[in-house]
Structure 1
């Protein structure tokens, strides 16, 4: 989500220089940050927050404001050997940004690194919002689920291959036994043939003088042998074709049953679902836009409440707003009103606060509506995907069925041809045997019988040797296939590990976030010494809920607070009963946990803090020291009196 080259960009040992023009309430300024903590010290309305916004702009955030009286603003960050620039321009009543900032996607930074008063993580804790949704928002759960489904399909393929190898391996003992039996039969036939050939040779010595007369008879005997051999081959081929047809018909029955079980849905259903998906997508996009606008409005109003004076436009006399005593005095005196820098009118602070509360309620409702639409959208997509998958499988199954029918027909035609060949060969054998009978003389009958026996044994021996060779080839093929098993098992193990990692990734992120928050919260409670706060922690719970037609496991983060009375009795409390200082500490710790869990520090070495006035100076110093150990560049806006507790060498007082 960040720039791919950010890891190469970081060199946290160097200083960095920021130049800002026309952002927030700043006309123009340039400051240099050192590694570690940098304090922007000053009173209210001295552009400290505006400088933080300038830094946010250069780093990539969209949550920055252009100076009210300017049409264009700039921010440039010189960091290491690179300079990252950002331009803000007012066009048709809106502010658009351009340039090459440090981050391409600032989502993580906006949530867990840019911790101004309006930061969503801080606000969520203060309001008691769903912290689990916030911590998991940057995680693309849809992409994880799609990857899980892809790996599950790959695992099924490997399982099918392994099962096939298992079945092949079970055939080996039978094939080995069959080969041994055939080898024994071959050995026996060789012995019989050797004996028959010896007897024939002995008989041939007695009729040697008549061999010339017997040449025609011997030719017919050789023809008979070859014809019988050919007939046997044809018979074997017929039997093989019939076995193939039986196997194909069994497969055809299975494929037909599978085809009948598939439901493809009609075009009207698909068109209706696609239309519903399009409508839901439009509704979700509209809600997202409305939520974004609400967040911007809430942020603007909060900024107006916090630092309204720093963004006032210049007076007609052109004097600096920050040095105009009359305006400043008036704003300080009239604490119940705030001057809007867009229209110049005074608005009651209470009215703005009420409006912000209403906007936050509306935003929460819109978030819930968007979540419901997302669930409906996912259900429609799953339904459409299932229909499309069934249609694809139906077409593939139909093609396979047609292919089987064609193959069965081809093999029946082949059997017909082979049957005709068999009948011709049988007739030819009958004719040859008749010719041989006519050529035989009484004194030759023994020799001819012996010749027939030799021919028959040679033919049978050849057939058995061919059968043994086929068995040997099949065994070798199976053994070669079985060599793949170790590779397949290794692949299956890798896929299983990937699946386990993906299935537990969300749980791991949630558990790590909870552990990180609880650890840092425990450490800070101990060193910040809040006397009546015994413990603050997040309790992660899970439960099954229904989303559309399926049940899914949902997590929730419950913030637990235990206080103790003066007498030492412990009791559970809620966030609404905590002091503003305590709520701020919890919000900052939660943001730090998100910063660490999502490894934001690997791509962004900055963290920005503002609006810490609710925390006393000593605790602020302790808090910054704690955060400094986790963040390379920590830039903090503080009041003068709070900054006194922090090392003066790290302070910037002139902006």
Structure 2
């Protein structure tokens, strides 16, 4: 969502957050300068803004059980609450952002900002730059398209097999049509012969009614016999088809694991273990954040003002520049640098735990996919087993029906033999010919019926195949589209990374040019492939390496590393990188606030230039500055001196 706050005044109300008891500050669109010395709760106010925007990088006041931050702009109100229960702080409310990750990385640029610290430590920057990009969604889409392509390939293979059946089916249909014509002609001839003989014996037919009745019975029995034989053939074909399907299912079952649910159960245990591990790490990260925040707030509260005083004996000045504080945990005097170093170590531990969480979440996602595969196998196994049971029941039923039909056939054969024997005793020489003709006609009718039934089956099969083949072109078109999408998706991550690196480099060059450092010619990122060790194997991994080009007084340039830069130069480099991320990912489109703190490594004029440049993007740019640095900014900007 876009900020939709253009031109409107915002108001922040804070109670019991960080080092603040209670305060209320209005922010006009544009630049707001929080000016003052240390221990004036500037950082606590910045973290309060972060909290109501959605960040968890804020803490409840140490001596309070409840706290809150409210941000009001126009008719909209956003709220974040802090509640301490049994020593644990719960954060609730309805913040401005649903997901503060972009803001935490590239908009809230306090001293502890992860992007600034990662550059200062010389970490691989790829994870930071690409974190806002949902590459897992792209990979998931690739997997889904590959499954769809595989399904289409299977369908096309089936159609190819069907297409191969068509020529033989066409030939079979042609043969059946010829055979039917031949049988019909033969039947017509027989019926003509029967009609001629019937005319000859018409005079004596009344005397031979009993023989005619037996002949009718014989025709009925023969017709019924042929029907039973046809039913027997159908049942045998069905049993053969079911038996073939039974073998296929048994083969499919053999390819599946014997007990998918057993492996599934083990996966459930591993997934639950990973969830518990992630939960433990998240609680540890939360505890670490509370410790870090508390110590940062305490450092702010116990900060020392180091001004040059015109004191003859220097005693007052010496007291002011004493760089030790009383440790609030053990009560002993320690150097401020030692606490700062410990805080850096805690931040590194927190970052390591966050990286571990991300790794475990990736493993958890893979295990869930594996579990889903086992579930699908289990469902497939159960479906096949049910189908197999149904087939076995149907085969048994059809075999029972087949046995019954065979008994009927045997009974009918016996009846026909009896009738034929009876007819032989009744018939006279005059009826010998007509009896033979009736038998032949009956046989021709039966054969014709079978041929016509076979023709219907073949025609229906050909029609079905032709209908299915009409889908072939559509399937091929779908497969081509999927192949195109897959090619694009498989290169999309590379393109995204390349574009991100290019944009980062362009923006870093712009920001660095604005700052105008004479000995820092260029800061740029290179996308490289490195062979790294992961577990027991070596893998190719994409990394983003930071390069720094410096110049000498004589104008010569050389490449340097972050390790060789001074502390102030590292801070500047980290800030330049974070600002580039803010511009590349267009964080200003969704986050109304940009926060800047701990800019002491940059001189006043450059701070002023940088603030004016960033102000063109941020709706509310809030900068915490020392009074001497604030003087370099335009007097028209809003200044907050008391919090």
Q: TM-score range by the shorter chain?
A: 0.7 to 0.9
2:614 paired residue number: 627
Query: Structure 1 residues 541, 481: closer, same or farther in 2, change over 3 A?
Result: same
1:537 paired residue number: 524
Q: Post-superposition shift, 1:542?
A: 4.3
Equivalent pairs, count: 632
Query: Higher mean Cα deviation, 76-85 or 611-620?
Result: 611-620
Alignment of 1:537-576 (within 5 A): 537-542=524-529, 554-576=541-563
Q: Post-superposition shift, 1:574?
A: 0.9
Query: Structure 1 residues 23, 375: closer, same or farther in 2, change over 3 A?
Result: closer
1:301 paired residue number: 295
Alignment of 1:466-505 (within 5 A): 466-485=453-472
Q: Which runs of 5+ in 1 are unaligned?
A: 1-5, 312-328
When the two chains are superposed, the root-mean-square deviation of aligned CA atoms in Å is 4.2
Query: Structure 1 residues 33, 380: closer, same or farther in 2, change over 3 A?
Result: closer
* In 1: Cα distance, 2:427 partner to 2:549 partner: 117
1:417 paired residue number: 404
Q: Is the 8 A contact 1:532 1:565 kept in 2?
A: yes
Deviation track 1:346-394 (CA, whole Å, cap 9, x = no partner) reads 6421221232244345446655765776687678767766666655555
Query: Structure 1 residues 34, 175: closer, same or farther in 2, change over 3 A?
Result: farther
Name the SS of the counterpart of 1:648 in structure 2: coil
Q: Post-superposition shift, 1:52?
A: 1.8
1:61 paired residue number: 55
* In 2: Cα distance, 1:237 partner to 1:548 partner: 67
Q: Is the 8 A contact 1:563 1:571 kept in 2?
A: yes
Alignment of 1:115-264 (within 5 A): 115-137=109-131, 152-153=146-147, 155-213=149-207, 216-264=210-258
* In 2: Cα distance, 1:383 partner to 1:233 partner: 55
Alignment pair present for 1:108 and 2:95: no
1:431 paired residue number: 418
* In 1: Cα distance, 2:355 partner to 2:64 partner: 38
Q: Is the 8 A contact 1:304 1:340 kept in 2?
A: no
Query: Structure 1 residues 225, 162: closer, same or farther in 2, change over 3 A?
Result: farther
Alignment of 1:447-526 (within 5 A): 447-485=434-472, 507=494, 510-526=497-513
Q: Post-superposition shift, 1:217?
A: 4.3
2:336 paired residue number: 349
Alignment pair present for 1:333 and 2:327: no
* In 1: Cα distance, 2:586 partner to 2:214 partner: 91
Query: Higher mean Cα deviation, 26-35 or 371-380?
Result: 371-380
1:87 paired residue number: 81
* In 1: Cα distance, 2:303 partner to 2:53 partner: 25
Name the SS of the counterpart of 2:58 in structure 1: coil
* In 2: Cα distance, 1:450 partner to 1:554 partner: 89
Name the SS of the counterpart of 1:130 in structure 2: coil
Query: Structure 1 residues 362, 78: closer, same or farther in 2, change over 3 A?
Result: closer
Name the SS of the counterpart of 2:636 in structure 1: helix
* In 2: Cα distance, 1:364 partner to 1:29 partner: 32
Query: Structure 1 residues 342, 126: closer, same or farther in 2, change over 3 A?
Result: same
Query: Higher mean Cα deviation, 271-280 or 582-591?
Result: 271-280
* In 2: Cα distance, 1:293 partner to 1:287 partner: 10
Query: Higher mean Cα deviation, 619-628 or 512-521?
Result: 619-628
* In 2: Cα distance, 1:378 partner to 1:348 partner: 45
* In 2: Cα distance, 1:455 partner to 1:272 partner: 70
Alignment of 1:8-23 (within 5 A): 10-23=4-17
* In 1: Cα distance, 2:260 partner to 2:184 partner: 68
* In 2: Cα distance, 1:546 partner to 1:432 partner: 92
Name the SS of the counterpart of 1:457 in structure 2: helix
* In 2: Cα distance, 1:221 partner to 1:569 partner: 122
Q: Is the 8 A contact 2:32 2:640 kept in 1?
A: no
Q: Post-superposition shift, 1:226?
A: 4.2
Q: Is the 8 A contact 1:264 1:391 kept in 2?
A: no
Q: Post-superposition shift, 1:612?
A: 1.8
Q: Is the 8 A contact 2:261 2:375 kept in 1?
A: no
* In 2: Cα distance, 1:621 partner to 1:169 partner: 76
2:45 paired residue number: 51
Name the SS of the counterpart of 1:54 in structure 2: helix
* In 1: Cα distance, 2:144 partner to 2:535 partner: 22
Deviation track 1:22-60 (CA, whole Å, cap 9, x = no partner) reads 434445443333434443344544443333222222222
Query: Structure 1 residues 243, 188: closer, same or farther in 2, change over 3 A?
Result: same
Query: Structure 1 residues 196, 78: closer, same or farther in 2, change over 3 A?
Result: same
Query: Structure 1 residues 276, 460: closer, same or farther in 2, change over 3 A?
Result: closer
Query: Higher mean Cα deviation, 225-234 or 422-431?
Result: 225-234
* In 2: Cα distance, 1:44 partner to 1:554 partner: 44
Query: Higher mean Cα deviation, 545-554 or 391-400?
Result: 545-554
Q: Is the 8 A contact 2:40 2:300 kept in 1?
A: no
Alignment of 1:570-649 (within 5 A): 570-592=557-579, 594-595=581-582, 600-649=587-636
* In 1: Cα distance, 2:597 partner to 2:75 partner: 28
Q: Is the 8 A contact 1:264 1:387 kept in 2?
A: no
* In 2: Cα distance, 1:265 partner to 1:443 partner: 77
Q: Post-superposition shift, 1:604?
A: 2.5
TM-score if structure 1 supplies the norm length?
Answer: 0.81
* In 2: Cα distance, 1:180 partner to 1:422 partner: 32
Query: Structure 1 residues 96, 464: closer, same or farther in 2, change over 3 A?
Result: closer
Q: Which runs of 5+ in 2 are unaligned?
A: 306-315
Q: Is the 8 A contact 1:224 1:432 kept in 2?
A: yes
Query: Higher mean Cα deviation, 514-523 or 232-241?
Result: 232-241
Deviation track 1:578-619 (CA, whole Å, cap 9, x = no partner) reads 344543344334434554666644543322222222123343
Name the SS of the counterpart of 1:519 in structure 2: helix
* In 1: Cα distance, 2:368 partner to 2:538 partner: 16
Q: Post-superposition shift, 1:336?
A: 0.8
Alignment pair present for 1:78 and 2:72: yes
